[in-house]
Each structure stands twice: as structure tokens, then as C-alpha cells.
Structure 1
């Protein structure tokens, strides 16, 4: 009896010991585990599901399980999976995901950029994860083309399985549709296309998908994809008032290149849809004027002159707000105009100095002989030699003319340098992605070293406002007041917080300061017919229209005006030679040298004139040079300066004929009709110069005769 009791006790003890772990730790739970590049979902020792990710997709982050949903960062994407391995959704982020955490009860994602990091909050739902903050995509193809690359990396035999595993990737579904169509199953192909259009995508992916749908023969689906691209871009803060570079447009689906392909193929019906997309969302894209002109030319060749003229007028309307209303490439025109003036002034200064040096050569040699010679005198008696320089033999009016020419040369060189600096700054990627703000854009603005002032404050505040930080934006806008653009955007902040009365007051103040400000007119309900207002009505209905800085404002923010460059050259010479985007060391040295020569020539005005005998002043070689270099022999009169500058300008305009000097942004100089007119003008200048010299000779001869009679 005792043996039986002992055995029962032992069995009960073993049962209780086996039950103890279950009591202490509860039942085993399924958990996601990342092994290498394979995500495994395990329920104890049982494998529920697994997914493998090729190395081409980028680094993996996580996994993180919250509320029965598993999150995994794959490159710039965060995928959400159910407990059964079904893809719940995908969040598109602007950089590679580096960490996932659920501190505070919400899913937080960190993405890495070049020298910066961004934090985003994911909100879950039946449709999958969504990013609560604004996402600004950098013009980086590794980010914007990730879905396309992921689909292209799948071998042909594995497309169906990959599309089943990831139904959120429309490029996989489109490949599946093409397979079904080749197999003769058009119904299944259309079904796959409809499923592709039912996905959630950022606008760069919509543009890429539209191009592939167009190529595959689904034009209606392509138009729908383009419309969704516009709406997604508008929701992310992209605006037609902000320019887009060729590189950014390439990262955002490259619609301009595809439009060029359609025009090459003479598919005007499809080209109209794509150029309409660019006109609405990215009208100020790099290379736009040339593409608009090409499209207008094709329309005109088909007898559609009215449409062609409408496109030309639209292209011309985009010049408003640019530098001198010259268009997006206006700085190139200013640069070439400055180069033209530099060459013309160099020719005129050189001609004047040659004539003065030849005229003073003989008397200068005689005067410097007691000092040791023309050149050795600089070492022996420099002060005395400096009083015998060539310009000391020139009259006050001749020296004054040279001073003016050298001052003009300084300003022209400064304009050339300024155009280079401003052009390089305005081409900064941070200012050419169709919007402002975001981590990538903020880091780019920080690298620009914006000049303190209202224009910089407007740009920084606008970026903060677009990112949703109205408090910081309102504080920064105060540094831009009373700028009309800042007043309008402060009104938008007031309207967002429900203060309609103050908002309308600020809109009215902005419109009073700038009657042509379409943003304030739109916000006051005046319905201006500008492209940006039409875009706002269509894609951001009910929202106030923000004011964006134009090219002139951006130029002042990044570089300042011409006076800033000239002031740097005069007050901070070393800064002119400091390497910077758009800054040329040779041009900097030329600017400093011209400024020094101009200052020395101004000082020469104080030198007493060394008289020349009539024979020395009218040496034969001097008279020949005065005939060959128009105006150089008449610098004592206003006619001399006018002829000298006109002669130098005409020669500079004819310089492209030689091929040694070109002015690409001044195409008028290359026209044959203008060249013929320039040659005629040059001949007239020589004839007029000869007539004036002959008149001066006759006057001198008469004066000599009168003097001889008076002496006798």
C-alpha cells in the first residue's frame, strides 16, 4: 500500500514540474525572426511562413511586431505582414530605413540620408501602414525607382509567384499582365492591369507605371496613372511655381524624355497627354522652352497654328518673375552679355593704351635717359619714373575716358562673375525638385549659405510651412516682412487655424503691396486665370494658395545682386579667389587686376600733364594708328569715346565668325543678316573716323597758317 502511494506521489510531482514552465511563462507565441536576408515567422518550432529578399533590394531593418502585424524595412520601404504572411501594405519613405521601434505605442521609422536623418510615424489600418508626416522624395533613383527595380529583378518564371507574394508592386502585376496577354488571355491581362491601378503609389512610381502602360498599349490606364501622379504630387506639396531640374525629372519618372520619344514617333495623341502632365505639374522643368517650341512647331506643321501659338504664348508667360523676364535661362544671357562687354571694353582700352604708348614713346625715352633708361629707371628712381608713364603725356579728358572704360570693365567682369555664381546657386538641387522642405531639401538649403535678408527668410519659412511646422514658419516669416509673399503665407497660416478675418486682412495687404500676386488674388476669391491658380483649384481644392519665391527672389537669397560681388572684390579680395561653385579663379584675378588698374588710372588724374611738342603729338605712326583704330585719335572729344566703343562693340559682335569666341546665349549675333549689317556699320565707323580725322587735319593746317601769318 505504501509503495503505491509513493509511486503516485512521484508521478504527481513530475506532472507539476512539467506544468511549472507553462504556469510561469504562458504558452509559446509565434515571433518573426530575421536570419540573414530571410524573414521567418515561427510558432515555437513550427515555421508559419517565410520570405527571402535579394541583396539588390537594399538593407533590411527589423523585424518589429506590433498588434499582430510584422513590420520590416526593406531599402526605402516598410512592409507590413499579417500573422499568416499576407502583405498588408507598404509605406514609401524618402531614404533607406535604418531602424524601427514601437516606443510610445506607435511605430517610428528612422531613415538615413547624406548627413541627415528623418523620423516618421506609421499609422496602421486595414489598408496597410501610412506615413503621418509629409514625405518629400529626393531626386534619387535608388529611392524613387525602387519598386521598378524590385520587379525587374524577378526572373520571368517567377513573376506570378512574386506578384502573389507582393500584390502592392504594380510593376510585377504589369509584367504578369504582359505574360497573360502573350498567352492569349486578354481578360486576365486586363484584370492584372486593373489590380496594378488599384495599388497605392508615390507619384514617381505612377509616372514610371504610366510610361510602361503606354508602351504596353493601355493608353486609358496610362492617363489614369498620370492623373493619380498629379494628385499624389499635389498632396506632397509639389507646385508648378517651383522649377524642376533635368536630374530631378529623371528620378521622378523622366516624363520629358518619354515625351521626346513620342514626338520622335509622331504619336501626337499620346504626346498631348504627357505634355499636359508636364504643363500642369512641372511647367518650369529644365529644357521646357525648347520642348514647348518643338511641340508648337509640330502642331503648326500639321495646320494647327492656333494651338501652336497658344503653346508659344504659354512658354512666354513662364518668363514672368525670372531675371529681367528673360526666362529660365536668363542668367546665361546675362553672362554672355557681360562677356561681350568685357571683350569690347578690353579692345577699346587696348586700342587707347597702344595709341597713347606709341605717341609718348619718343619723348618718354628722352626724359628717362638721365634716369638710367626707360626700364632701368623703375629700379633706380621709381618715383620719378612713375611721373613719366605713358598716360602722363595724355590730356585730362583722355585719362578720364580711360578711367571710365576701366571702371566699365570692372563692372562687366563683376557681372560675369555674378552670373556664374548666381547660375550655379540657382542650379542647386535643393531649389529644383518641384517643392521645398523635407530632410533632403533642408540639408541642401543649409549648404547654400543663404544671405541674411527677407528673401532667405521667405524661403526657409516656406519650407517649414510645407513641412507642417506653422509655428516655426510664422516666426521666420516675420524676418521677411513686409514682403507680399510672406504676408500671403501668413494669411494661409491664419486661415488654417480658423482666423478667417485676419487671413483676409493679410491677403488684402499682400495684394496691395503686389497687385500682380496671383496667390493672394486666388485666396480672396478673385479667380485669376494663371496656371498655378488652375492647379490649386483642381488638385488642392479648399486649400489656400501659398506664394512661392520667384527667380529674382531666389537670386537675391543665394547670391545677392551685382553690388555684392563688386563689394567683395573691393573690400574682401581674398574671398573673390576662394573656390566656390561657379567661381573661376582666373576670372577673379582678372576682376582684381581690372579694379587695381581702374584705381591707378583714377589716381593718374592727379598727375600734371607732360607736354608734347606738335611734332611729337602728330608723329606719323600715331596718325596711322588713329586711322586704323577708330576713335583712338579723337579721345579729347566725345566723338572719340563713342567711335572707340562702337568700333570695339562691332568687332566683338563679329568675333563669332572666327570661331575663337562664341556667345551661345546671344544667338542673334550668329544670324547672317546681322553679320551683314555689322560689316556695313564697321565700314561707316571707319568712314566717319576718317572724315573726323581729315576735318581735324584741315583745322590744324588752317591754325598753323593763321599762326604763321600772325608771326610774320
Structure 2
């Protein structure tokens, strides 16, 4: 239903409810008055009832009297009381209530956020007070944990009175059940648990209640609470295709931490129920692969190898759509791979420059003496001094090798920076709450400075479509065509307005563009056997399946590819040094310096070579260095460059053994077999280098003897 349609329905339903309330309301002389933090309902001079609210519950807004009902905003909640003081219902909102208004004939509520505000329409219903618009709860424990905090703040002696005053808070009822159970009244305890399960709650509160029910010894009730959490989350647009960060999951009841507690207690039967909840609703939660592997390992240790392998296969299936299909944490592997390549190139470049510099040291000193020396020459006659830089004594092929090493260094540093930027962007809270849209999510999305293109349009269009603004979503998707995801979601809009023919045409076009698009296959009735399709069938039956962006698409939207980072470094150096999440100033400076050196080395290819005498080229220190650093004595040959890179790569990969650089996202480097292979490669590089140098020495000796004999 569009936002306009829902708004009309809310006004009509609200007007009807308010009219019914007015028919049975009290006399006009009765009024609700807020004195400090106490709500008093007075009939003239007579006090009918009153409620007090501790400061910890948040700011109070109102009261607002409409049709004999009293509305009061308490933190992120709106309570509705009858004239007799009975709680008629409670509305759960995404932020602290700021205003209550009924000037338009319906009750409108405003909530405040960090830099944004939202307005909602309240109406009556079978379950109490209903919020007509979509409510997306931000990952804020002050909002999602409000009911639990309010219940825990009540002293033990006041639990029964508090539960009577607010029967919509299930955590008070559960505390009351605990008291009755301790007194031996199991029937009253079960009755309180049943009343707790009969309340209306947002899904984070259901998860918190399920954990408490589990801990209190009511596993069947906990399973029921988890099922209601799934259904409420599905109705709010939470989807298994959208990742959930650790912070958001903690605010949504922290089910992964509770699974860890159950596993520590060896309560595998209960852990299975909670793992099923995570698998269905939040399969892509941060830290998921580690928990899946831990759970599979425990199952395997108990002889349940089939179940263990099934969980491992499920974890592997989540890699589809991630960066290079490496999994949710694939960017860490890319970053460490870039770091390893950077260290390799630095070692190779350092060794090559050391060999070139040492070989040119003596002739350079003699040549720069008339200019004032190696250092003062740059101040007195810089152009003439530039003629005698160390690389000027290197051959063209050696300078070409140095240029290629520097170009590779620029690319590896850029990849390192890109991985940092992409990782920080993908961890943005707005992209990790299990859905898109809502005031909090839309405000966070607008702060990301998304790159124009179909991937960014998909994020913005989904936010608008999930919030019920189909007109805006259609406009955004149309601009993103022929993107397959946009086509599928346009089909969902067409189907929602009753145009089945156009919807099926758009689904077919989307599936033609991307044959692996599960959402379009589901909408065409092909019944794909995927977790997201199963979730849609179970918890959103009869609704079209939306297409959500995968990790690769989101990465393109927030940072672009590696070429974007490199282009910024070359065309806009200031932006590379501008502070941003994931951007390191030191890495930015290193990238700029490497780019400048690569440009300078490229220019040096035009310099004529300054000749060296045979004695200078074969100085004892130079020959010792080429023996110590494999490949540096053979840089004029492509094989010398390959030998140099082989040596540098082996040394870089073995650096963790010496307590140097570590690569935690590349666990393969820590394996014994690979380390043995690296040591063998390092040994091979020294062996080949020694054999080649000895062969060259023998050849040089023979040529010298032949030359001496020829002179005689």
C-alpha cells in the first residue's frame, strides 16, 4: 500500500475510533493534568487516578485527551489510558516522543532523532493502539530495550502493583511469574507467562523476552516468542538478505551472544532453536561465520557430522554475492593480501635501489664533486645534479624494472587503501540494520555520499519502497534501468497496484538480465530453493519478493572500485588525505609518494645512461650485495626480476615468523605446509642466484684470460 493510501486509511480509522471513544467518554469536566512527572486525572476537585513515571523512562509529552482517552508520550512510547485509568494500549515508536497532536481529527505523534524527525498516525485496533506508518526501530538500546529497562527498575516489592498498572509490559509479568513460582503457586506463574505472551511487542522485545523465558525454564514459551519475533520483524521489512552489524544485533536482543551462552552451558537443544532464529532472520550477521563454525564443530564432536556439514554448507552459501565470493569478511583478506603485496614490492624495490645506488656510489661522488658534492649540488646546480642520480647509471632495462615495481607499489597501496575505505563503508550502521528506510536509516544513508549509479539507486529506491512511497521508488528505479534488481522491484510495484501483466513482464526482463536473480524467479513462481525464498513464503506470504543488493553492489555504491581510489590519488591528491572513515593519512601519503616516484622513474627512462667502467660495475661490495640479495645482479634480464620477486615474496610471507608484519586475515600463511614451501622457495632463490652469479664469474674470468692471451 502506498504512503498516501495508508495515510487515508489511518485518518479514517482514527476518526472512527476517536468517535467511538467520544460516545462512551466521561463528562467534559474531567481532565488529565501532568504535574512534574505525575499524570493526574481529575474530575473537578476529585482525583480519579494518577501515574508517576521515573526520570529514567525519558521525557514526557502531553497529555492529549481525545474522545475520553488520554495519550501520554513516555520516552519512545505512547500510552493510552481510559477515563478509569486502565491501559488501553501502547505504541512503540523509533525515538523519543516530542509532540502529540489531534488537530486533524486523528492522533499524530512526532518523534525526534539525530538530525531528523518522523511523524506517525495512531489508530485503534484489536491489538490496542496501532501505528499506521512503517516503524523502523534504530539500533538504539534506549529504544529497543525500553520495556525491559522499565521492568528491571521496579523494586521487588512493587512488581505486582507495577504489573497491574501496566499489563502491556511482559517483563513485569515475567517477574511476577517468578515471584509466584518461588511461592509455590505454579498455576499463577503459568498464568502470568501466558499473559506476557499475549502482549503486543516489537521484535527486539520479543527476543529479549524469549531469552528471559528460556533462562526461567519456559522453553516452549521462548520458542513461541521467537516465532513472534520473526513475524513482527518480517512485517517491519527486516529481511535475511540484508546484513546486520554487531551493534544492531545487540540492540535487537543480542541472540548471537545468547547462543554463545547456551553453547558454554552445553544446552544444545536450546541453542538449536536460537540458531534456527538467526539462520532464518539474520543469517548475515556480523561474526556469523565464526559462530556457524563453532556450532558445527560441537555437533561434529557429538557424532552429528551430517548436521555439522549442513551448517558449514549453509555458511559457504552465504559467500555468494560477496567480494570475490570470499565471504562476509572477504575485505579483510583483500586488505591483508594488499599488505603482503606491498611488503613484497617494498623489499624488491629496496633491494634493487640498494644495488643500483651502491654500484653508482663511487662514480657519482667523482662526478658531483665539481658541483659541490652529492647534497650541496642539489642547491647550487639542481639540473646538472639531476644528471647524476643513481638510476642514471642503470641500464634501460633496469630502470624499466624499477618503474614497474613502483607502478605495482602504487596499485598495491591503492588496493590497501580501497579495502580500508570499502570495509569502513560497508560497516556503516545504515547498511547493517537488516532493512532499509525509516527516519534513522534514511538519514544515515544520506550521509554516505553514495556514488551515482544503479547500485546507489537500488539502495535509495528500496528505502522509499519499504517506507510505502511507491511513487518516489518508481522514479528512482526507472532512472536505474536496465538494472535487473530495479526491474524486479518495479514489477513488485506494478503487482501491488494490480497490474499483473506488466509485473510479470518486468520479472521476466529482470530474470533475462540476471538468470541467477532469485527474487525474480520467486515472483514468477519458479520456487527457488533458497533461504530468502523460504523466508518470504513463511513470513510474507502473498507478497512480491524484493531484490536486495549484494555486497558487491553495495561496495560499488559506497566506494566504487580500485580505479576510483587510484584516480583520486592521481587527479585529486587532497581528497586522498582528507579524513574519512577507513582512510589512513599515513597510507595516503605513502600512496602519493609512490605515485610521484613512479612518475619520476618513468621520466628517467628518457635519460641517457651514464657509463660505468668494468671495475666500477664489478666492485667487491657490489658483488657481495648481489649475492646477499638474489636477483639484484641480474636486473637487466627478466629472469633477474622474477628471481628478485620470488625472494621478496618469500621473505614477506615469512615475516610473521620473525615477529614482523602479521596477516591475520590470511590464515593460510600460518599453516606448516605453506611455511615449509616458503622456506624452500627462499632457499631456491639463493641457490639459483648463487649458481647464476658463479656462472657469470667463471664466464668473466675466461673472457679476461682470453683477452690477456690475445694481447700477448
TM-score by length of 1: 0.95
Q: Secondary structure at the match of 1:232?
A: helix
| Corresponding residue for residue 201 of structure 1 | 201
1:345–1:405 Cα contact (<8 Å) kept: yes
Post-superposition CA distance 1:125-162 (Å, at most 9, x none): 35321000000000000000000011111111111111
| Corresponding residue for residue 254 of structure 1 | 254
Cα distance in 2, alignment partners of residues 112 and 663 from structure 1 = 44
Deviation at 1:27, TM superposition (A): 7.5
Post-superposition CA distance 1:487-516 (Å, at most 9, x none): 111110011011111111111111111111
Cα distance in 2, alignment partners of residues 697 and 30 from structure 1 = 110
| Corresponding residue for residue 39 of structure 1 | 39
Cα distance in 2, alignment partners of residues 126 and 434 from structure 1 = 28
| Corresponding residue for residue 661 of structure 1 | 661
Task: Say whether 1:679 aligns with 2:679.
Answer: yes
Cα distance in 2, alignment partners of residues 552 and 708 from structure 1 = 68
| More off after superposition, 380-389 vs 269-278 | 380-389
Q: Secondary structure at the match of 1:478?
A: helix
Post-superposition CA distance 1:363-410 (Å, at most 9, x none): 111111222222221111111110111100000000000000000000
| More off after superposition, 701-710 vs 484-493 | 701-710
Post-superposition CA distance 1:495-553 (Å, at most 9, x none): 10111111111111111111111011100111111100000000000000000001111
Cα distance in 1, alignment partners of residues 90 and 27 from structure 2 = 31
2:127–2:200 Cα contact (<8 Å) kept: no
Q: How does 1:290-689 map to 2 (within 5 A)?
A: 290-689=290-689
Deviation at 1:701, TM superposition (A): 3.2
Deviation at 1:677, TM superposition (A): 2.0
1:623–1:633 Cα contact (<8 Å) kept: yes
| More off after superposition, 700-709 vs 507-516 | 700-709
Deviation at 1:705, TM superposition (A): 4.2
Cα distance in 1, alignment partners of residues 518 and 710 from structure 2 = 78
Unaligned runs of 5+ in 1: 1-25
Q: Secondary structure at the match of 1:124?
A: strand
Q: Secondary structure at the match of 1:103?
A: coil
Q: Secondary structure at the match of 2:135?
A: coil
Q: How does 1:84-163 map to 2 (within 5 A)?
A: 84-125=84-125, 127-163=127-163
Cα distance in 2, alignment partners of residues 362 and 554 from structure 1 = 56
1:60–1:75 Cα contact (<8 Å) kept: yes
2:646–2:681 Cα contact (<8 Å) kept: no
Cα distance in 1, alignment partners of residues 30 and 117 from structure 2 = 33
Task: Say whether 1:77 aligns with 2:64.
Answer: no
| Corresponding residue for residue 231 of structure 2 | 231
Cα distance in 1, alignment partners of residues 539 and 509 from structure 2 = 26
Unaligned runs of 5+ in 2: 1-25
Cα distance in 1, alignment partners of residues 93 and 331 from structure 2 = 35
| More off after superposition, 92-101 vs 364-373 | 364-373
Deviation at 1:54, TM superposition (A): 1.0
Q: How does 1:177-216 map to 2 (within 5 A)?
A: 177-216=177-216
Cα distance in 2, alignment partners of residues 27 and 557 from structure 1 = 59
Post-superposition CA distance 1:58-104 (Å, at most 9, x none): 11101111111111100000011111111001000000000000021
Distance 1:291 1:28, change over 3 A: closer
| Corresponding residue for residue 289 of structure 1 | 289
Q: Secondary structure at the match of 2:319?
A: coil
| More off after superposition, 125-134 vs 649-658 | 125-134
1:88–1:126 Cα contact (<8 Å) kept: no
Post-superposition CA distance 1:304-355 (Å, at most 9, x none): 0000000000000001000001111111111111111111100000000000
CA RMSD in angstroms, aligned pairs only: 1.2
**In terms of Rg, which structure is larger?**
1
Cα distance in 1, alignment partners of residues 356 and 614 from structure 2 = 15
Deviation at 1:676, TM superposition (A): 2.1
Cα distance in 2, alignment partners of residues 266 and 594 from structure 1 = 54
| Corresponding residue for residue 242 of structure 1 | 242
Distance 1:478 1:122, change over 3 A: same
Post-superposition CA distance 1:212-248 (Å, at most 9, x none): 0000000000000000000000000000000001110
Cα distance in 1, alignment partners of residues 473 and 708 from structure 2 = 85
Deviation at 1:617, TM superposition (A): 0.9
Cα distance in 2, alignment partners of residues 375 and 70 from structure 1 = 85
Deviation at 1:707, TM superposition (A): 4.3
Deviation at 1:683, TM superposition (A): 0.7
TM-score by length of 2: 0.95
Deviation at 1:711, TM superposition (A): 5.2
Cα distance in 2, alignment partners of residues 147 and 276 from structure 1 = 25
Cα distance in 2, alignment partners of residues 127 and 214 from structure 1 = 25
Q: Secondary structure at the match of 1:541?
A: coil
Post-superposition CA distance 1:453-480 (Å, at most 9, x none): 1111111011100000000000011222
Distance 1:353 1:28, change over 3 A: closer
| More off after superposition, 204-213 vs 33-42 | 33-42
Deviation at 1:278, TM superposition (A): 0.2
- Aligned residue pairs, count: 687
Post-superposition CA distance 1:7-62 (Å, at most 9, x none): xxxxxxxxxxxxxxxxxxx9852111111111111111111111111111111101
Cα distance in 2, alignment partners of residues 710 and 476 from structure 1 = 85
